[in-house]
Amino acid sequence: MPFELAPLPYAANALEPHVDARTMEIHHGKHHAAYTSNLNAAIQGTALDGESIEAILAKISSSSAAVRNNGGGFYNHNLFWNCMAPGKGGKPSGALSTAIDAAFGSFDAFKEEFSNAAKTRFGSGWAWLIVHDGKLVVCSSPNQDNPLMDDAPVKGTPILGLDVWEHAYYLNYQNRRPDYVSAFWNVVNWDFVSAQFQQALK
Ligand code: MN
């Protein structure tokens, strides 16, 4: 079975004014769609055909650039869409809230560290909140790399991701990446992130 582009979990305009509909349409319908079809083309007829995306990423160092870039792009955007939802934002609760306080001192301190990771990632890439050995860590990665890749400098299970490629914000925010990063907090779906956290601890 080839990988499939899942529909957005909400309407393209659902995250406005924080993320605009046109950006969502192009980002999901063109960029994510291209990563998906290019990944399928890159693994067709190879030993990777039929493996899970997580399994492919876990041994990415032995794959081609096409599998790395499109496999990362496929996985990263699947996570990203679900990390956001309309009418969300605010703060996490429960075990995730406790773990954030333990790792970073406070939610505000975590927000600042994650925002800085997003703002200072030079060029195209992602900011991440990951679970590493049961603990929360903030990191960033270039291009479509991610912390599931076996050759990532910081490894772990991503539970929150923010796309800082220009295609994620340029139509609405132009060069103002910090404004896009600030707006992101208004749409973070902490229920989803908490579920990912629980899953990563298993
Ligand atoms: Mn993207």
Q: How far is the CA of 25 from the centre of ligand 1 (A)?
A: 11
Residue-by-residue pLDDT tens, the chain, 202 positions: 699 999 999 999 999 999 999 999 999 999 999 999 999 999 999 999 999 999 999 999 999 999 999 999 999 999 999 999 999 999 999 999 999 999 999 999 999 999 999 999 999 999 999 999 999 999 999 999 999 999 999 999 999 999 999 999 999 999 999 999 999 999 999 999 999 999 999 9
CA 38 to chain centre: 19
Closest C-alpha to 130, from 144, 145, 148: 148
How many CB atoms are located within 10 Å of the residue 188 CB? 21
Q: In angstroms, rounded to a whole number, what is the distance separating the alpha carbons of residues 149 and 28?
A: 23
Q: What pLDDT is attached to residue 190?
A: 98
Q: How far is the CA of 200 from the centre of ligand 1 (A)?
A: 23
Q: How far is the CA of 10 from the centre of ligand 1 (A)?
A: 17
**DSSP character for 6?**
P
CA 94 to chain centre: 22
Q: What radius of gyration, in Å, describes the C-alpha atoms of the chain?
A: 16
Q: How far is the CA of 128 from the centre of ligand 1 (A)?
A: 14
**DSSP character for 142?**
E
Q: In angstroms, rounded to a whole number, what is the distance separating the alpha carbons of residues 131 and 141?
A: 15
Q: How far is the CA of 144 from the centre of ligand 1 (A)?
A: 8
DSSP string, 17-79: TTS-HHHHHHIIIIIIHHHHHHHHHHHTTSTTTT--HHHHHTTGGGS-HHHHHHHHHHHHHHH
pTM of the model: 0.97
Q: How far is the CA of 46 from the centre of ligand 1 (A)?
A: 26
Q: Which residues surround ligand 1, an ion (CB under 5 A)?
A: 163, 165
Q: How far is the CA of 68 from the centre of ligand 1 (A)?
A: 15
Specify whether the CB–CB gap between 135 and 200 falls below 8 A.
no
Q: How far is the CA of 24 from the centre of ligand 1 (A)?
A: 10
Q: Give every CB contact of residue 166 below 8 A, 6+ residues apart in sequence.
A: 124
Q: How far is the CA of 62 from the centre of ligand 1 (A)?
A: 24
Q: How far is the CA of 98 from the centre of ligand 1 (A)?
A: 30
Q: Give every CB contact of residue 90 below 8 A, 6+ residues apart in sequence.
A: 190
Q: What pLDDT is attached to residue 6?
A: 98
